[in-house]
Amino acid sequence: MRRAPFGVRSAGVAGVAPHAEIQQRVKQQFISSGLAVADFIHRYPRRITATLALLMLGSASGAFAVAKLAPAVPAEPIRLVSEDVALAPLTAQLDQLDSHSFTLYHSARTQVADSPASLLERLGIADPQASAFLRRDKVARDALFSRGAAGRVVSAEADDQQNLKQLTVRWLDASDNTRFNRLVVEKAAEGFTAKVDSGALVPAERLASGVVGQDALTVTGDTHLPADVTHQLSDIFSNGPGTKSNVRKGDRFALVYQVWEADGEVLRVGRVLSAELTAGGKTQHAVWFADKGSRGDRGDYYALGGESLYKPRYDLPLGKLRITSGFGLRVHPVAGATRHHEGVDLAAPRGTPVHAVADGRVEFAGVQHGYGNVVYVQHADGRDTTVYGHLSRIDVKMNQRITRGEQIGTVGSTGIATGPHLHFELRVNGSPINPSPVLAEAQTDTAVPGVSRAAFAEQSAAMLGQLAIADQLRPGGFE
């Protein structure tokens, strides 16, 4: 294919606000990096399915490395930094078609209780010799029909008589998840041979986009996302552990995720690296960022501004946390006797708003001896209950559904209390536990630390560029 000089094709790039500039820049560099794949997509946008584009772009991560490191306006065309390995078979296939040679390529997944005959039939092969070989040869049989071999992708080449020329299957090494095994069955002059070798998995990134289907975990259109990726997407845009995902039917998404490939075939799916979700005209972003400095290798998803998308299980019931009396045995300030304190006392002036720490249902709202005006909230998982005592006022009713952060009352000193404070309890399956760790977690600042801001900004800009490209892969989104 002809290589386009830098900038020539950029005129046709569709700008999608608000990231049009980055998108255009990345795409320019992407195209100018000489990837015939991009050229192909650009020239034949309607001829390829989004899935095919996905496969093709997925193997082109070298181009993104270029985009990330290159200055804004390069003086000369950017040189290729990596060869596109997936291109060769594609070109080979096109060439084969052109030269009237009828090598047929098929692929199919192995199934439980497959036989050589049933597998070959799905591969479009009618070759008794091949069938007999697969039955007889132990190496081939183990790789294709043993227990645990179901679900492997088998690719086959056949001649125009439907005779097998070559068959390949790859699978993860059971003892080392950085390696894979590969069986190749080949026809030679003296008959078939089977050989297994092994290789290192290659890390790569895949781009995908689409529209969320019926149950938030399916995707409409041509995009075939691994189930694990859709689960991650749903988790990333949820309100925290134990809450419902914000991903809904009809939402549009674009994402980049990590994979490990063997000869271009994905054998292992990793983490979602960045995601974009558009719902009701509002777009949210999430970028995975591992700060190698202050927080060890721990990573999190962040919004573009650097705020963490990670939500602690519970929020604080008060704006500020000051524990004046802890959980456990203590001499009761009013009764004088030693008693078990079933919660913590939080200092705050009378009238300070008290908030529900998580979504839930009001189990009780009223007066109880000792607690005074008290609210019990049962949380979504049905396991945890939080209790808010000594309130001067109650703002919710029994059985009312409430959301995280909703005001349920105000601080007071009703019941047995020496002065205004909030008595807060966390009960798990009815038994009070010490809520201090949960409250400490709730007040942790989870934004990207200052020292990592520059690295984060660079990474999120690169991710935006990739998402913009992913966005264009949406079926019908090319022109």
Q: Which residues bind Zn ion (CB under 5 A)?
A: 345, 423
Residue nearest to Zn ion (CB): 423
What's the CA gap between 157 and 107, in Å, rounded?
Answer: 9
Nearer to Zn ion, 221 or 326 (CB): 326
Min. distance of Cβ 357 from Zn ion in angstroms?
A: 16
Closest CA to 426 of 311, 335, 310, 313: 313
Nearer to Zn ion, 423 or 474 (CB): 423
What's the CA gap between 58 and 229, in Å, rounded?
Answer: 15
Task: Return the sign of the alpha-carbon dihedral for residues 108, 114, 118, 120.
Answer: positive
Min. distance of Cβ 316 from Zn ion in angstroms?
A: 16
Nearer to Zn ion, 3 or 330 (CB): 330
Nearer to Zn ion, 82 or 413 (CB): 413
What's the CA gap between 362 and 24, in Å, rounded?
Answer: 51
Min. distance of Cβ 361 from Zn ion in angstroms?
A: 23
Min. distance of Cβ 422 from Zn ion in angstroms?
A: 8
Min. distance of Cβ 367 from Zn ion in angstroms?
A: 16
Min. distance of Cβ 429 from Zn ion in angstroms?
A: 21
DSSP state of 14: P
In single-letter form, the type of residue at position 456 comes to: F
Nearer to Zn ion, 404 or 423 (CB): 423
Min. distance of Cβ 343 from Zn ion in angstroms?
A: 5
DSSP state of 15: P
Nearer to Zn ion, 52 or 323 (CB): 323
Min. distance of Cβ 423 from Zn ion in angstroms?
A: 3
Cis, bond preceding 18 (omega within 30 deg of 0)? yes
Contacts of 265 (CB under 8 A, 6+ apart): 153, 170
Min. distance of Cβ 332 from Zn ion in angstroms?
A: 9
How does 86-97 read in b/e, with b if 16+ C-beta sit within 10 Å? bbeebeeeeeee
Neighbours of 18 (CB within 10 A): 10
Distance of CA 234 to the CA centre of its chain: 8
What's the CA gap between 279 and 213, in Å, rounded?
Answer: 13
Nearer to Zn ion, 153 or 321 (CB): 321
Nearer to Zn ion, 345 or 384 (CB): 345
**Any idea what the Cα angle at residue 429 is, between residues 424 and 433, rounded to 5°?**
40
Q: Are strands 179-188 and 164-172 parallel, antiparallel or unpaired?
A: antiparallel
Nearer to Zn ion, 412 or 465 (CB): 412
Question: Are 381 and 420 a contacting pair, CB within 8 Å?
Answer: no
